[in-house]
Amino acid sequence: MAWCAHHLRRLSDHAVALLTCGGAVRWLVCAGTLFVSGCDGVQSTLSPAGREAERIADLFWWMTVGTVVVWLGVIGLTLYAVRARSEARNERRDGLLIIGGGVVVPTVTLTVLLVYGLAMLPPLVAPAPAGSLKIAVSGEQWWWRVRYQPPGGEAITLANEIRLPVGEPVQFRLDSPDVIHSFWIPSLGGKMDMIPGRVTYLALHPTKTGVFRGACAEYCGTSHALMNFPVVVQEKEEFARWLAQQAEPAQPPADSLTARGQELFLADGCSACHTVRGTPANGVIGPDLTHVGSRLSLAAGTLPNEPDNFRRWVAHTTDVKPGATMPAFHMLPHEDLRALAAYLKGLK
């Protein structure tokens, strides 16, 4: 939401600048700025941070150039047809123009663009080289189950956040237990459907570090628009440290408030759906919460990771995410909610 508000504000700033500009040149400069400023950001196919996204952005720009050339040709011919004096016309030349402009130019332009686009497909769907980091992602209603399979290591189950090492290819294995979702990190590459009863694959190769945003790109139910995830691309060593830390069990509660929170977590039934490794909580219906306090967002990219938001999520779940299968625990006393929020936030 913050991201959208930020872009809307910027867009409206540019729109105001556009309206107050005088003269055709300044108008064009302003329009160009408005157009290009819409291309950056954490979720833009036109601001690529991965090899696959670079190819897709190239295709977009070549398609745009092709479109502009065809459009200018059509407008030029229209102006010629309207303005040319009838006695200046010559049947033979008109015939050549119709064949040339109406058949040859579109056929050549579209064939070139088609061949260019089709040639791009094999590298975009090719698997990552053997030995690459493998990540299995399952689309749930409405969150992401993420399982890292480091080469030669044990699988680590996480949720709702993906971290990747820069400059390394990654192989994603995608599926869904019930409805169709689509896994998409626009800054890194194209989207891939997650289909119940089928497994699909996607290889990505991030080239820039940074925090990006992934989203579900296929309508999957009430909270489809609230099913996102931060994607953090890090230096290789930093990523290795992060993954090793995520593989560890949860730290024991640090103080009496978080200890009370853990007691409530186990007593109130949270552990039937959620796992916190290192504790008796081993449910697998909902997201793994072993290190939930270290994630950048809550509820699959819906809320910033803050203690108040943990409380809000636990007490008003379906207000935050309509249709969520987790029941709202609004009946819990304020002090209990505070202890639960402190415990969850403390799971770093």
Residues 322-335, buried b or exposed e (16+ Cβ, 10 A)?
eebebeebeebeee
- For ligand CUA, the closer of residues 37 and 200 by Cβ is 200
Query: Minimal distance in Å, beta carbon 155 to ligand CUA?
Result: 23
- For ligand CUA, the closer of residues 224 and 312 by Cβ is 224
Of 235, 123, 122, the closest CA to residue 168 belongs to: 235
Query: Minimal distance in Å, beta carbon 338 to ligand CUA?
Result: 32
Residue 326 to residue 321: CA distance in whole angstroms: 10
Residue 292 to residue 297: CA distance in whole angstroms: 9
User: What residues have CB less than 8 Å from 131, skipping those under 6 apart?
Assistant: 151
Beta strands at 162-165 and 303-304: parallel, antiparallel or unpaired: unpaired
- For ligand CUA, the closer of residues 50 and 139 by Cβ is 139
Query: Minimal distance in Å, beta carbon 51 to ligand CUA?
Result: 25
Query: Minimal distance in Å, beta carbon 229 to ligand CUA?
Result: 11
Query: Minimal distance in Å, beta carbon 223 to ligand CUA?
Result: 8
Residue 173 to residue 204: CA distance in whole angstroms: 11
Q: How far is CA 68 from CA 48, 65, 109, in A?
A: 23, 5, 11
- For ligand CUA, the closer of residues 301 and 346 by Cβ is 301
Query: Minimal distance in Å, beta carbon 133 to ligand CUA?
Result: 24
- For ligand CUA, the closer of residues 159 and 342 by Cβ is 159
Beta strands at 170-175 and 133-140: parallel, antiparallel or unpaired: parallel
Residue 120 to residue 33: CA distance in whole angstroms: 30
- For ligand CUA, the closer of residues 127 and 322 by Cβ is 322
Q: Which residues bind ligand CUA (CB under 6 A)?
A: 139, 142, 181, 216, 218-220, 224, 227
